[in-house]
Amino acid sequence: MTTHSIKTVWKENNTFSTDIDGHNVVIDLGEDQGGQNNGPRPKKLMLLAAAGCTGLDVVEMIRKMRIELSHFYIKIDAEVSDEHPKKYESMKLIYEFKGDDLPEKKIERAVKLSFENYCGVLAVYKSCLPVSYEVRINKD
């Protein structure tokens, strides 16, 4: 088993800084919440982790299938509870692909494999909240 470790350092007010693999990540609150808007909010970084994890899986599989994409993005809509602790209650990932003559079944298979088997971040989220996905394929 591997252990991942980070150290987050309080800088000032509501700003924290973390070195992750040699990259500085700063989090803060928005000015409307008493912060200085020096970085993104922590919960949204959870969405970034999910999108990045599954996106890397999908791109690697698409590359191995020799599929040429002109555009690929992942949008995540996550419902946040109204009461404390304010947490994600559900999450939906929308994978959108663009390109000429894209093989829909292969792309859908790559997304499904990532979503169901490979993405460790999504596996954690799926263990505690409903997570769904949709694939959209558009021609250029």
> What's the pLDDT band for 81 if we cut at 50, 70, 90?
very high
pLDDT of residue 70: 93
Average pLDDT over residues 23-42: 96
Is the pLDDT at 138 greater than 90? The verdict is: no
Percent of residues, the chain, with pLDDT higher than 70: 99
Is the pLDDT at 124 greater than 80? The verdict is: yes
Instruction: Please report the beta strands in 1-140, taking only residues with DSSP state E, as ranges in sequence order.
Output: 8-12, 15-20, 23-27, 71-80, 88-99, 131-139
Given CA atoms 6, 10, 16, 22 in this order, what sign does their dihedral have? negative
Angle subtended at Cα 19 by Cα 18 and Cα 25, rounded to the nearest 5 degrees: 55
pLDDT of residue 140: 62
In sequence order, what are the beta bridge partners of 78? 91
Residue with tokens 């959108």: 96
CA distances 90 to 31, 40, 103, 104, Å, are: 27, 20, 30, 26
pLDDT of residue 43: 96
pLDDT of residue 139: 74
> What's the pLDDT band for 135 if we cut at 50, 70, 90?
very high
How confident is the model over 37-69, as pLDDT tens digits?
Answer: 999 999 999 999 999 999 999 999 999 999 999
